[in-house]
Amino acid sequence: HVQLVESGGGSVQAGGSLRLSCAASGRTYGRNCMAWFRQAPGKEREGVAAISIGRGITYYADSVKGRFTISRDNAKNTLYLQMNSLTPEDTAMYYCAASRYLDCSLRLADFDYWGQGTQVTVS
């Protein structure tokens, strides 16, 4: 199993920044690819950014390109999401997720493990 615990959410004004963290533990096999997803009320969960743990290749949703940066610290088993230039449309519950697939992507079905989420509110 893989355990994921998010932190760093909160309330911020439009144009502001937040940094989310996700502490991972458990089997490394299950987390070849890690990602951030988000879900706003009444909307489907959507992929925001993903990163391959081994090679560090990143993937972003078009809506966050140029504003969000995903990174990882393998020594600390921690995933980050730096979010800049936030808008009210970024308001959502943000989830950390892990996939065993080496072919990293933002396909929801590829991810086996999920954190409990951290709320981001932009006003």
Displacement of CA 98 from its chain's centroid (Å) = 9
Per-residue pLDDT 10s for the chain (123 aa) are 889 999 999 999 999 999 999 999 887 767 899 999 999 999 999 999 999 988 889 999 999 999 999 999 989 999 999 999 999 999 999 999 999 998 899 999 999 999 999 999 999
3-state SS class at 90: helix
* Dist CA 15 CA 71 (whole Å): 21
